[in-house]
């Protein structure tokens, strides 16, 4: 099994959970190099065990709770959110399936990238049951527009955002587009988006941060870096110039395919597909092979002053 970065459909049918898989398709150094330089790396088939056929059939029946984008499992607390509760038994089964996915994905990724795993913070595992092409979401929440990732409710504090996706649709490919990396986008649009210390946040952002301080006091200190990244995320999604003129590479991920990317630096859009699993990880700057090309380093160099607290 080899990682793929081709513009052709990738993937195979689901393998049984006990099938032999190579958990190290490439060296750790080579994989980290590709990811940190903004590549998307795809694996066909997925290199770890996925929910079995009965469990996938159960997942296909799940519906989102009103106003929620995804069904989310927090591996730290074991809490599941975002789903319509049908019964306590079904809720427990859904929790178990996503907990197993989280464990399997984390174990495989820790084997592939042990340096990252030595000091990472696993974030949410999510299930995405809705069709991306037809979802009715506000502009800045849409996944089908090219963007870089920044989490409004979970500031990264300068840690990188590594995300692992798997298409579990029974027959259809999931279609993505990728475009420029953060460094190139920052050169083109960084000033227009509003650099730190040269931009005054609007009242809606100040209100959002006030609510974050109220309900999540441990996460209330949003850095200049996090403010910029969220602003840049919104800027790219609302920029007609970028959305219409950016170069695009299309990806067609067949059922059973997994893919991995630093989505805080690789601009991407989830154009079409439903029934996907995803797991996010915050990667410490201390674990990076090339911290100098991380978004935080690029932003700080451009500003000529710190954009993160000294302890970050």
Does pLDDT of 231 surpass 80? Answer: yes
Under DSSP, is residue 150 helix (H, G, I), strand (E, B) or coil? coil
Contact 132, 257 (CB under 8 A): no
Average pLDDT over residues 104-121: 97
Average pLDDT over residues 205-231: 71
Average pLDDT over residues 212-225: 68
pLDDT of 218 reads 53
Name the pLDDT band for 213 (thresholds 50, 70, 90).
low
Q: Rounded to an integer, what distance in angstroms lies between the CA atom of residue 178 and that of residue 193? A: 20
pLDDT of 67 reads 83
pLDDT of 310 reads 75
Average pLDDT over residues 276-296: 98
Name the pLDDT band for 222 (thresholds 50, 70, 90).
confident
Does pLDDT of 6 surpass 60? Answer: no
- Strands of 249-253's sheet, edge to edge? 249-253, 174-181, 266-272
Where do the structural domains in the chain lie, given as residue ranges? 3-303
Contact 38, 4 (CB under 8 A): no
Q: Rounded to an integer, what distance in angstroms lies between the CA atom of residue 161 and that of residue 154? A: 11
pLDDT digits (tens, 9 = 90+) for 58-83: 999 999 998 899 999 999 999 999 99
pLDDT digits (tens, 9 = 90+) for 236-271: 999 999 999 999 999 999 999 999 999 999 999 999
**pTM confidence score:** 0.87
Q: Which two tokens stand for residue 311?
A: 């302890």
């Amino acid at each position: 099994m080899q990682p793929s970065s081709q513009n052709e459909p990738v993937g195979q049918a689901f393998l049984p959970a006990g099938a032999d898989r190579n958990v190290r398709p490439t060296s750790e150094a080579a994989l980290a190099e590709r990811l940190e330089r903004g590549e998307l790396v795809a694996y066909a088939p997925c290199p770890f065990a996925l929910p079995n056929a009965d469990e996938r059939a159960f997942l296909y029946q799940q519906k989102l709770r009103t106003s929620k984008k995804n069904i989310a499992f927090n591996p730290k607390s074991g809490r599941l959110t975002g789903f319509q509760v049908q019964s306590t038994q079904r809720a427990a089964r859904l929790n178990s399936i996503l907990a197993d996915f989280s464990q399997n994905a984390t174990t495989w990724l820790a084997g592939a990238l042990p340096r990252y795993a030595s000091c990472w913070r696993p974030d949410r595992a999510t299930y995405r049951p809705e069709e991306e092409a037809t979802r009715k979401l506000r502009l800045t929440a849409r996944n089908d527009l090219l963007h870089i990732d920044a989490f409004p409710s979970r500031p990264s504090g300068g840690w990188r955002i590594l995300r692992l996706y798997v298409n579990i649709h029974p027959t259809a490919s999931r279609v993505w587009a990728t475009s420029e990396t953060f460094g190139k986008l920052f050169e083109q649009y960084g000033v227009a988006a509003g650099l730190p210390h040269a931009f005054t946040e609007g009242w809606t952002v100040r209100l959002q941060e006030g609510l974050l301080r109220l309900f999540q006091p441990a996460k209330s200190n949003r850095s200049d870096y996090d403010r910029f990244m969220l602003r840049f995320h919104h800027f790219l999604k609302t920029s007609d110039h970028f959305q219409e003129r950016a170069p695009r590479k299309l990806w067609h991920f067949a059922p059973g395919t997994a893919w991995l990317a630093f989505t805080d630096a690789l601009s991407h859009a989830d154009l079409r597909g439903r029934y996907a699993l995803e797991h996010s990880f915050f990667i410490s700057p201390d674990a990076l092979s090339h911290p100098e090309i991380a978004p935080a380093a690029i932003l700080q160099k451009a500003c000529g002053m710190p954009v993160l607290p000294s302890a970050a």
